Amino acid sequence: MRSQILFSVAVVFVLALLSQPLLAASAADCAAQADRAARDAGGSGGGVARGAVRGAAFGAIVGDSSSAAGKGAALGGLVGGVRQNTNKDQVYKQVYDACMSGK
């Protein structure tokens, strides 16, 4: 009877140990992992280029001149770059939080 209780306690103890992560990631490890993921999400250059093309097309249609197309391209490039950087920040935060929570 006593050996069965000891065996049960040992099994529960081993299962509890196995359910924990073996090597928990440090804050620096999670920051490095999140930084890599944010860099892999793409640079702001692509967002600037896409925004400039869309802005130029919109400016040319609405303003009906090359000046309006140029202003649309500048504004579209700015908005596209900001949007891409915001996306990279979100990727960084999601990966960092998931790493720190052990997922």
Residue 25 pLDDT exceeds 80: no
Higher local confidence (pLDDT), 6 or 63: 63
Residue 75: pLDDT band with limits 50, 70, 90: confident
Structure tokens at 66: 């090359």
Q: What pLDDT is attached to residue 96?
A: 92
Q: Which of 21-25, 27-31, 66-70 has the highest mean pLDDT?
A: 27-31
Query: What pLDDT does residue 67 have?
Result: 82
- The domain segmentation of the chain, as residue ranges, is 26-100
DSSP state of 43: -
Whole-number Å distance between alpha carbons of 24 and 32: 14
